[in-house]
C-alpha cells in the first residue's frame, strides 16, 4: 500500500523483494537496489526527499555562491550538477559545454555521471536523458547516489557498513537519554527526542533536554531544526509535520539529515581529542614550570639566608666583658638549635624537589631543568659547605675568646689585689725616707734610725718580688689584649716610678745615716735582732696571707689536686714558722726580762722597726685563720671539678652510643633501597617507618644537646672520654636525616616512573632483582663491568659503541658507577612510550583545520581558558605569507616543548 505500481516496475519490484529477503540483517541495500525501489516511491516519501535533498544540495552550493529552487529543473542543464560535484569532492570536472541545446545539456550531465562512476559508484538505470528531461524519481535517485557516496559511504564504526555505522554512532551517542531508543532511520526519529539528544550530547549549552516532553513531537523536532540551523550551520531539510504525520518517514531523508550531524560533530570530537592531548601536554609543562619557580624561589631564599648568615659568623669582633661573650655563645646556640635546623630541612627538600622535577621532565620527554646561574644543587651545596666552615671557625673563636676573657679577668683582679697590697705598703714611705730626723737625734736615736733603715732596706728588697710580679701581670694583660690595658699600664708605670724613687730615697738616706754612723756606737742589739728577725718573718706572713687569699682558676681535677698538694706543702711548713715566731717573740721577752732585771724603763716602742710583738701575733692568728678557709675553698673547687668530670662522663656516655648509632643507620640506609623486598608501596611504608624511628630518636640528640650546654655553661671545653664532639653528632644527624629523605624520594620517583610509564610491579621487581644480583659490593651501585653483565643477562646484545652510548645515559657525570635510580630510569625508557612533539603538532593541526598556523580565536574556542592563554603568551608569530595578521606558529611551539627552550 502506498506504492505506485507501474507495469514497467514489476520486474524491479520482484528484484527488490528478492534482494530484501536475502539480506538476513536488513542491511542497507546497494545503490542499484535503492534505485530499483525508487520506482515504487511513496508520494509522502518523495515530498520529504525533495525537501531534504534540495536543502542538502544548497548547503554545498552556497559555498559557490548559488543554489537551486527545483531539484528536477535546476539540474537539467548539468551546470549546477557539475558545480555541486566540484564543491563536495574538492576536485575539478571537465570544462562544461556552454551551449543551450539539448545535446549540450546531455553532454554536461554525462560529464557529471562519468565523474560519479569514476568514484566507484555503479549507476543503474540512471541516464543523462532522464535528468535532462526532468524525471523527478531519476533525479532524486541520482542525488541520493551522490549523498551515499560523498556523505554516508565513509561513515564506519567498528567496521560496519555505512548505514549500520551511522546507526551505531547514533545509538551510542543517545544511549544515556531517557525516552530515546534509536533502532532505525524512520519511526525512531518521529518524536524529535533522538535529534535533540544528539545535539545535547555534543552541545549541552544549546538545548535543555530535561524540559523536553515525549508527547510534543512537533515542538521537539522544530527545536532541533532551529538550533541546528542557527548554531550548527545545518540547514532545515525536513518538516516536523511531515515526519509526525507520516506513519513511516523516508529513511533517505532522515539519513541525509542525520549524516549532517555526524559530520558536524565528528569533526568537533576530533578537535576535542586533539585539544585534550594539547591540554595534557600543557598541563605537564605548567606543573613543571611551577616546580621550577618553586625551586628557584626556595634556592634564592636559602642562598640569601646563607649570604646574610656568613658575615655574622665571620664577625670576629671580640667583646670586652665575659657576659657579652657568653651572650654571643648563647646566640650561637640558638642559631644551631632554632634557626639552622629549618634551613637544613629546606636544603634537603630543595634537593628532593630538584630530583622529583628532573624525574617528571624525563618522564614527560622534556629537557632537563637548568636552574639560574649560581642556583644549581652543587652551588647550594658549596655555599652550605662554606657556611659550615665559617660556622666551625666561629664556635672555635668564641670558645677561645671566652677562655681569654676568663684569663684576663683573673689576671686583672690579681693585678688589682697585688697593686693594692703594694700601694698599701708604700703608703707614706717616700715621706718617711725624706725626713731629716737624724739631724737632731741623739746617739741612741741615730743608731736606732740606722738600724731602722737597714730593716727598711731588708723589707724593700723583700717587696721587689711583688713589684716584678705586678709588672709581669701587666705585661701579660697587654699581650692578651686586655680592653683596659691603658689604665693597667698607667698604674703599673706609677708603681714602677714610685719604686725607683723609693730606691733613690733609700740610697740617699743610707748615705746620710752612714755619714753620722761613726758618731754613734751604741746599738740596742736586742731591738736590732728583733727587728731583723721580725721583718722577714712578717714579710713571710704577708706572703702567706697573700697566697692563702690568692684567687685561682682550674679546668680539671688534676689541676685542683696540684693546688691542694701545694697547700699541704705550705701547711707542712707551719711548725717551722711557728718556731721562728716563738724565737722572734723570745727576743722581745729577753728585752723585757733585761729591762725588768736592770730596772730599765722601756718606752714600749722598738726604735728599729714598726713591727710590734702584737703585730706578729695578730698576723700569725690571721694566717692560722686563713688556712682552714683555704682548705674549704680548695675542697669546694674539688667538688666543682668532680661535677664537671661527671658532666664529661655523662656527655661521653651518650655520645659514644649516639655516634655509632648514627653511623650504623647511615650504613643501613645505604642498602635499604635495594634490599627491601615487595612492592614500591611496601618499600615506601617500610622507609616511612624507618624514618619515623629515626625521628623518634631525636629526643636522644636533644638530651645530648642539653648536656653539651651544661658543659659549656660550666666552661668545660675538653673531654678525654670520647672522640665525639657535639659538632660531630650534629653533622652526622643532619646527614642521616638528609639520607633517609633522599632514599624515600628515590622510591617516590620510582613510583612516579612506574605510574607515568605504565611499568608493572612485576617488571620493577625484575629490574630490582637484576640490579641486586650485580650490585656485588652491596652499596647501591654497579661498576660498568657489572652493569654490562646485568644488561647481557636481560637479553641485550651489546657492542662497544652501543654500550658506550648507554653509559652516557646512565652516568652522564662520568662518576664511574650506575646508581639504582639511573638503572630504573634507563629500563623504563626502554619499555615505555612517551608523547612526542609530532603528536602535539598533529593535535594542533586538527584544531587549526589543517592549516600550518593557528589563530588566537581558535585557541580560545578549542582550549580551556588557562591553557589557551598559556599558548597565546608563548607562541611566536607565524611568518608565512599565507597567514592572517596575528596568526601563531604552533609548529615551533610544539618543538620547543620537547627541546632546549625557555618554556
The DSSP symbol for 818 reads: E
Per DSSP, the three-state class of 144 is helix
Residues 690 and 585 in one domain: no
pLDDT, tens digit (0-9, with 9 covering 90-100), for 258-281: 988 888 887 666 776 777 778 888
- Whether residue 333 contacts residue 408, with contact meaning beta carbons closer than 8 Å, is answered with no
Other Cβ atoms less than 10 A from the Cβ of 324: the count is 11
Spatial separation of the C-alpha atoms in residues 669 and 742, rounded to whole Å: 10
Q: In terms of domains, do 457 and 570 share one?
A: yes
DSSP 235-252: ---S-HHHHHHSSS--HH
Nearest to 722 by CA among 735, 709, 708: 708
Model pLDDT for residues 290-299, shown as the tens digit of each residue: 888 998 899 8
- How much is the average pLDDT of 341-358? 88
Q: Is residue 638 part of a domain?
A: no
Give the residues across from 888 on adjacent strands: 854, 877
Cα–Cα distance, 477 to 484 (Å, whole number):
9
CB count within 10 Å of CB 576 equals 9
Average pLDDT score over residue span 821-837: 73
Looking at residue 182, its pLDDT comes to: 93
- State the pLDDT confidence band at 876, using cuts at 50, 70 and 90: very high
Domain annotation covers residue 379: yes
The residue out of 777, 798, 828 marking a domain boundary is: 828
Query: Is pLDDT above 80 for 62?
Result: yes
Say what the pLDDT of residue 657 is: 93
Q: Is the pLDDT of residue 692 over 60?
A: yes
Q: How far is CA 766 from the centre of its chain?
A: 31
Q: Identify the pLDDT of residue 57.
A: 93
- DSSP code at position 97: P
Q: Give me the long-range contacts of 59-62 (CB less than 8 A, separation at least 24).
A: 59/234, 59/235, 59/260, 60/84, 60/87, 60/88, 61/87
808, 868: one domain: no
Regarding whether 664 and 677 lie in a shared domain, the answer is yes
Are residues 884 and 801 part of one domain? no
163 contacts 262 by C-beta, under 8 angstroms: no
Domain count, the chain: 6
Mean pLDDT of all residues in 375-385: 89
Mean pLDDT for 357-381 is 86
Strand pairing category for 876-877 and 888-889: antiparallel
Same domain, 157 and 272: yes
pLDDT of residue 866 exceeding 60, the answer is yes
Residues with Cβ within 8 Å of residue 362, at least 6 apart in sequence: 368, 825
Mean pLDDT of 778-795: 83
Q: What is the CATH number of the domain that holds 528?
A: 1.20.58.60
Q: Which three three-digit cell numbers place residue 842?
A: 598533529
- Residue 851 belongs to domain with CATH number: 1.10.238.10
Q: How confident is the model at residue 563 (pLDDT cuts 50, 70, 90)?
A: confident
Dig out the grid coordinates for 618 from the structure.
Answer: 695578730
Please check whether residues 584 and 453 belong to one and the same domain.
yes
212, pLDDT greater than 50: yes
pLDDT of residue 439: 63
Length of the chain: 903
pLDDT band at 5 (very low <50, low <70, confident <90, very high): very low
Residues 49 and 192 in one domain: yes
CA distance 281 to 843: 11
pLDDT of 800 over the 50 cut: yes
Query: Is residue 835 situated within a structural domain?
Result: no
Which DSSP letter does residue 854 get? B
Cβ 867 vs Cβ 844: under 8 Å: no
Confidence of residue 19 (pLDDT cuts 50, 70, 90): very low
Considering only 215-224, 444-453, 720-729, which range has the smallest mean pLDDT? Answer: 444-453
CB 195 within 8 A of CB 189: yes
Exposure on the CB side of residue 8, measured as CA atoms within 13 A: 4
- Which DSSP string do the residues of 414-447 spell out, in sequence order? HHHHHHHHHHHHHTTHHHHHH--GGGS--HHHHH
Q: How many CB atoms lie within 10 A of CB 823?
A: 23
Report the candidate in 411, 417, 408, 416 with the shortest Cα–Cα distance to residue 320.
408
Report the helix count and the strand count for the chain, using DSSP H and E. 33, 4
Distance CA 729, CA 732 (A): 5
Same domain? For 69 and 91 the reply is yes
Do 272 and 286 share a structural domain?
Answer: no
pLDDT confidence of residue 23: 35
Residue carrying the nine cell digits 554525462: 110
Asked if the structure places residue 545 within a domain, the reply is yes
Which class for 462: exposed (0-12), middle (13-18), buried (19 or more C-beta within 10 A)? middle
Residues 382, 621: Cα–Cα separation, whole Å: 69
Per-residue pLDDT for 570 more than 90? no
Judge whether 237 and 47 are in contact, CB under 8 Å.
no
State the sign of the Cα–Cα–Cα–Cα dihedral 356, 361, 367, 371.
Answer: negative
What is the per-residue pLDDT for 849?
83
> Can you tell me the distance from the alpha carbon of 817 to that of 781, in angstroms, rounded to the nearest whole number?
6
Q: Is the pLDDT of residue 70 over 80?
A: yes
CA distance 413 to 787: 72
* Residue 445, domain member (yes or no): yes
User: Can you give the pLDDT at residue 628?
Assistant: 94
Q: pLDDT at position 899, please?
A: 66
- DSSP secondary structure letters along 177-211: STT----SSSGGGTTSHHHHHHHHHH-TTT--GGG
Cβ of 877: how many Cβ atoms within 10 Å?
11
Average pLDDT, the chain: 82
Q: Nine-digit cell at 651? A: 656527655
Local confidence band at 34 (pLDDT 50, 70, 90 cut-offs): very low
**What sign for the dihedral angle of Cα 535, 538, 540, 543?**
negative
What does the pLDDT look like over 309-321, one tens digit per residue?
889 888 878 777 7
Report the C-alpha gap between 437 and 340 in whole angstroms: 77
Give how far the C-alpha of residue 79 lies from the chain's centroid of Cα atoms, to the nearest Å.
73
Mean pLDDT of 620-633: 91
Mean pLDDT within 230-239? 88
Task: Give the domain-ending residue among 279, 297, 312.
Answer: 279
Per-residue H/E/C for 882-901: CCCCCCEEHHHHHHHHCCCC
Question: d(Cα 381, Cα 409) in Å, to the nearest integer?
Answer: 42
What's the pLDDT score for residue 227? 92
pLDDT digits (tens, 9 = 90+) for 542-554: 998 888 888 878 7
Whether the Cβ atoms of residue 414 and residue 344 lie closer than 8 Å to each other: no
Contact 419, 495 (CB under 8 A): yes
> Residue 841 is placed in which grid cell?
603538532
Distance of CA 61 to the CA centre of its chain: 63
Asked if residue 516 and residue 621 are part of one domain, the reply reads yes
User: What confidence category does residue 602 fall into, taking pLDDT thresholds of 50, 70 and 90?
Assistant: low
All three cell numbers of 315, joined, read 664577625
Q: Count the neighbouring beta carbons within 10 Å of the beta carbon of residue 698.
A: 11
Q: Is residue 25 part of a domain?
A: no
Q: Which residue has the cell 616511612?
A: 688
Q: Where is 584: in which H helix or E strand? A: helix 574-598
pLDDT band at 835 (very low <50, low <70, confident <90, very high): low
- Report the range of poorest mean pLDDT among 172-186, 348-362, 467-481, 786-800: 786-800
Query: Which residue range forms the structural domain that includes residue 813?
Result: 765-828
Taking 60 as the threshold, does the pLDDT of residue 797 lie above it?
Answer: yes
303 against 598, higher pLDDT: 303
CA–CA separation, 352 vs 371, rounded Å? 14
Any domain includes 9: no
Gap between the Cα atoms of 551 and 413, Å rounded: 8
CATH of the domain at 70: 1.10.418.10
Domain boundary among 633, 648, 670: 633
- Cα dist from 92 to 83, 95, 104, 116, 119, whole Å: 9, 9, 19, 13, 13
The winner for highest mean pLDDT among 164-168, 401-405, 693-697, 775-779 is: 693-697
Q: Is 140 helix (H, G, I), strand (E, B) or coil?
A: helix
- Kindly indicate the confidence band of residue 7, based on its pLDDT and cuts at 50, 70 and 90: very low
User: What are the backbone angles phi and psi of residue 561, rounded to the nearest 5°?
Assistant: -65, -30
Domain assignment present for residue 641? The answer is no
pLDDT band at 11 (very low <50, low <70, confident <90, very high): very low
Q: Calculate the CA 211 to chain-centre distance.
A: 54
Query: Is there a contact between 196 and 223 (Cβ–Cβ < 8 Å)?
Result: yes
Cell of 675: 634490599
Residue 795: is its pLDDT beyond 90?
A: no
The DSSP symbol for 152 reads I
Burial (0-12, 13-18, 19+ Cβ within 10 Å), 323: exposed
- Same-domain pairing of 461 and 553: yes
Exposed e or buried b per residue across 187-224, where buried means at least 16 C-beta atoms within 10 angstroms of its C-beta: ebbbbbbbbbbbbbbbbeebbebeebeeeebeebbbbb
Amino acid at each position: 500500500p502506498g506504492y505506485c505500481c507501474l507495469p514497467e516496475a514489476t520486474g524491479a519490484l520482484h528484484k527488490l523483494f528478492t534482494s530484501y529477503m536475502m539480506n538476513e540483517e536488513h542491511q542497507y541495500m546497494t545503490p542499484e537496489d535503492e534505485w530499483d525501489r525508487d520506482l515504487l516511491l511513496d508520494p509522502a516519501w518523495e515530498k520529504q526527499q525533495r525537501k531534504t535533498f534540495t536543502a542538502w544540495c544548497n548547503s554545498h552550493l552556497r559555498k559557490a555562491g548559488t543554489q537551486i529552487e527545483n531539484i528536477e529543473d535546476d539540474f537539467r542543464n548539468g551546470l549546477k550538477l557539475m558545480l555541486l560535484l566540484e564543491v563536495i569532492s574538492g576536485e575539478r570536472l571537465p570544462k562544461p559545454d556552454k551551449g543551450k541545446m539539448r545535446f549540450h545539456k546531455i553532454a554536461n550531465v554525462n560529464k557529471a555521471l562519468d565523474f560519479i562512476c569514476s568514484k566507484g559508484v555503479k549507476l543503474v538505470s540512471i541516464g543523462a536523458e532522464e535528468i535532462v528531461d526532468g524525471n523527478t524519481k531519476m533525479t532524486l535517485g541520482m542525488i541520493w547516489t551522490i549523498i551515499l557516496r560523498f556523505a554516508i559511504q565513509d561513515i564506519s564504526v567498528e567496521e560496519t557498513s555505512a548505514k549500520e555505522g551511522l546507526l551505531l554512532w547514533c545509538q551510542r551517542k543517545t544511549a544515556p537519554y531517557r525516552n530515546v531508543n534509536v533502532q532505525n532511520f524512520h519511526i525512531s526519529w518521529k518524536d524529535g527526542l533522538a535529534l535533540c539528544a544528539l545535539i545535547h550530547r555534543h552541545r549541552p549549552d544549546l538545548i535543555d533536554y530535561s524540559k523536553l516532553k515525549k508527547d510534543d513531537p512537533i515542538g521537539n523536532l522544530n527545536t532541533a531544526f532551529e538550533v541546528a540551523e542557527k548554531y550548527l550551520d545545518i540547514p532545515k531539510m525536513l518538516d516536523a509535520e511531515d515526519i509526525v504525520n507520516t506513519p513511516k518517514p523516508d529513511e533517505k531523508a532522515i539519513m541525509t539529515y542525520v549524516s549532517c550531524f555526524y559530520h558536524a560533530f565528528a569533526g568537533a570530537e576530533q578537535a576535542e581529542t586533539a585539544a585534550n592531548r594539547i591540554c595534557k601536554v600543557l598541563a605537564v609543562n605548567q606543573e613543571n614550570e611551577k616546580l621550577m619557580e618553586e625551586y628557584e624561589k626556595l634556592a634564592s631564599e636559602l642562598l640569601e639566608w646563607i649570604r646574610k648568615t656568613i658575615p655574622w659568623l665571620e664577625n670576629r669582633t671580640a667583646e670586652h666583658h665575659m657576659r657579652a661573650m657568653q651572650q654571643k655563645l648563647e646566640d650561637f646556640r640558638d642559631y644551631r638549635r632554632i634557626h639552622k635546623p629549618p634551613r637544613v630541612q629546606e636544603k634537603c627538600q630543595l634537593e628532593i624537589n630538584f630530583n622529583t622535577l628532573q624525574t617528571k621532565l624525563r618522564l614527560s620527554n622534556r629537557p632537563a631543568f637548568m636552574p639560574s646561574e649560581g642556583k644549581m644543587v652543587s652551588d647550594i651545596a658549596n655555599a652550605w659547605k662554606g657556611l659550615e666552615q665559617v660556622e666551625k671557625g666561629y664556635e672555635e673563636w668564641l670558645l677561645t675568646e671566652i677562655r681569654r676573657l676568663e684569663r684576663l679577668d683573673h689576671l686583672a683582679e690579681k693585678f688589682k689585689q697585688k697593686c693594692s697590697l703594694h700601694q698599701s705598703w708604700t703608703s707614706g714611705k717616700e715621706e718617711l725616707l725624706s725626713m731629716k730626723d737624724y739631724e737632731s737625734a741623739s746617739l741612741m736615736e741615730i743608731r736606732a734610725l740606722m738600724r731602722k733603715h737597714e730593716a727598711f732596706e731588708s723589707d724593700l728588697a723583700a717587696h721587689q718580688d711583688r713589684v716584678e710580679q705586678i709588672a709581669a701581670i701587666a705585661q701579660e694583660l697587654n699581650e692578651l689584649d686586655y680592653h683596659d690595658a691603658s689604665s693597667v699600664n698607667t698604674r703599673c708605670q706609677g708603681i714602677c716610678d714610685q719604686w725607683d724613687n723609693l730606691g733613690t730615697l733609700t740610697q740617699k738616706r743610707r748615705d746620710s745615716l752612714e755619714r753620722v754612723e761613726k758618731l754613734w756606737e751604741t746599738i740596742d742589739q736586742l731591738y736590732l735582732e728583733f727587728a731583723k728577725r721580725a721583718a722577714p718573718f712578717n714579710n713571710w706572713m704577708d706572703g702567706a696571707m697573700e697566697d692563702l687569699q690568692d684567687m685561682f682558676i682550674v679546668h680539671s681535677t688534676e689541676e685542683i689536686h696540684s693546688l691542694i698538694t701545694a697547700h699541704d706543702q705550705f701547711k707542712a711548713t707551719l711548725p717551722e714558722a711557728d718556731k721562728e715566731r716563738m724565737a722572734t717573740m723570745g727576743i722581745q721577752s729577753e728585752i723585757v726580762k733585761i729591762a725588768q732585771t736592770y730596772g730599765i724603763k722601756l718606752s714600749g716602742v722598738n726604735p728599729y722597726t714598726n713591727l710590734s710583738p702584737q703585730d706578729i701575733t695578730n698576723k700569725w692568728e690571721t694566717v692560722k685563720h686563713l688556712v682552714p678557709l683555704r682548705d674549704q675553698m680548695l675542697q669546694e673547687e674539688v667538688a666543682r671539678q668532680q661535677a664537671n668530670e661527671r658532666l664529661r662522663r655523662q656527655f661521653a656516655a651518650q655520645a659514644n652510643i649516639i655516634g655509632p648509632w648514627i653511623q650504623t643507620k647511615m650504613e643501613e640506609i645505604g642498602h635499604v633501597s635495594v634490599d627491601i623486598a615487595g612492592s614500591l608501596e611496601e618499600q615506601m611504608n617500610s622507609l616511612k617507618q624507618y624514618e619515623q624511628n629515626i625521628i623518634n630518636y631525636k629526643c636522644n640528640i636533644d638530651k645530648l644537646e642539653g648536656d653539651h650546654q651544661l658543659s659549656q655553661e660550666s666552661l668545660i671545653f675538653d673531654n678525654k672520654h670520647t672522640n665525639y664532639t657535639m659538632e660531630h653528632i650534629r653533622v652526622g644527624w643532619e646527614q642521616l636525616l638528609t639520607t633517609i629523605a633522599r632514599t624515600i624520594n628515590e622510591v617516590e620517583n620510582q613510583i612516579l616512573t612506574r605510574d607515568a610509564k605504565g611499568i608493572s610491579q612485576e617488571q620493577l621487581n625484575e629490574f630490582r632483582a637484576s640490579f641486586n644480583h650485580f650490585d656485588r659490593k652491596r652499596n647501591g651501585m654497579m661498576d660498568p663491568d657489572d652493569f654490562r653483565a646485568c644488561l647481557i643477562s636481560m637479553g641485550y646484545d651489546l657492542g662497544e659503541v652501543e654500550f658506550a652510548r648507554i653509559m652516557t645515559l646512565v652516568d652522564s657525570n662520568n662518576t664511574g658507577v650506575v646508581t639504582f635510580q639511573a638503572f630504573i630510569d634507563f629500563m623504563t625508557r626502554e619499555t615505555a612510550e612517551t608523547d612526542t612533539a609530532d603528536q602535539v603538532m598533529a593535535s594542533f593541526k586538527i584544531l587549526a583545520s589543517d592549516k600550518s598556523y593557528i589563530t588566537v580565536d581558535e585557541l580560545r574556542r578549542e582550549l580551556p581558558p588557562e591553557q589557551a592563554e598559556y599558548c597565546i603568551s608563548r607562541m611566536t608569530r607565524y611568518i608565512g605569507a599565507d597567514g592572517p595578521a596575528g596568526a601563531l606558529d604552533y609548529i615551533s611551539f610544539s618543538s620547543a616543548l620537547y627541546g632546549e627552550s625557555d618554556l
